[in-house]
Amino acid sequence: MQIALAGIGKIAIDQHVPALSASEDWELAATVSRSGTVDGVDAFDSLDAMLEACPEIRVVSLCLPPVPRFEYAAKALAAGRHVMLEKPPGATLSECAELERMARARGLSIYATWHSREAQQVAAAKAWLADKTLKSLHITWREDVRRWHPGQDWIFEPGGLGVFDPGINALSILTEILPDAIHLREAVLSFPDNRQAPIAATLGFRHPGNAAVSCDFDFRQEGEQTWEIEAICAEGTLRLTHGGAQMFVDGAPAGEALTGLAGEYPRLYAKMAQLVRNGRIDMDLSPMRHVADAFLLGRRETVAPFHF
């Protein structure tokens, strides 16, 4: 199937383009960007121009920041194209619900992707936890915004999510591996004095079995980056490290260990191909609901200004 990729930035070049190039399901037939291009692929500087010129392209994958994404997705759906959304799927829950309504009304597929759910050991962790008695679960997700989003001021603007841009990855794993639904009980959000989105956050959740479930997110980590989940159960302890790529049970490695985002985006595109072929929709918004709850419920504190 032919696909167009809109938003040719770092994540598109690093992950989307290689995944599409290696896929037997997809042909990258066009790009949409004001600045970025991919060698050998037709490039357009507007979505409208691409949609008009390329009626044969059935699918549009959107890698834009979340705030402008709704307008692009709505145009693609109105033009009869299936849509794949980079995480988070939109700037608000309401616009995501509207996109799903539009897709259903037109018989189109739409996919809210959560790439961290496709990390190497997430499925194994979900299977291990399925019959365990959870006592506590803690997420430590600390990374350096200067390394991963150099100069990208939009991430600290309204709708940019701040530290929840990576934190939502952790929440996507959490909502995938836990057999029970949880909801936010308390939060503290740390806003730099000169920014509109938090640079750090701590979250506490209510678990139906009274397990202590908590998160520690921070965008100021220097040196080694930390993306870990530890679940202590009556039957043993599970640790996911490297963003879900490596798993340990009672301290012993379990399964094949990978690093980085290996395999995540190829699996996302394989699933999108299945959704399109089967006429299905996947718009799970549970990670985004937890973020929205944190902004609603969280106590705000002001911290030192942040500059790239």
Which are the catalytic amino acids? Answer: 87
| Collapsed DSSP state (helix, strand, coil) of residue 244 | helix
* C-alpha pair distances (Å), 286 with each of 74, 94, 261: 21, 13, 22
Longest dimension (CA), the chain: 59
How many residues are given for the chain? 308
Please state, in angstroms and rounded to a whole number, the distance separating the CA atoms of residues 30 and 56: 11
Name the residue among 281, 195, 295, 260 with its Cα closest to residue 18. Answer: 260
Nearby residues of 108 by Cβ (< 8 Å), 6 or more positions away? 77, 80, 81, 82, 83, 102
Name the residue among 33, 39, 42 with its Cα closest to residue 8. Answer: 33
What does the buried/exposed string (b/e) look like for 175-202 if buried means 16 or more CB atoms within 10 Å of the residue's CB? bbbbeeebebeebebbbbeebebbbbbb
Angle at 11 between CA 117 and CA 226, to 5 degrees: 55
Please state, in angstroms and rounded to a whole number, the distance separating the CA atoms of residues 194 and 304: 8
Please state, in angstroms and rounded to a whole number, the distance separating the CA atoms of residues 13 and 38: 8
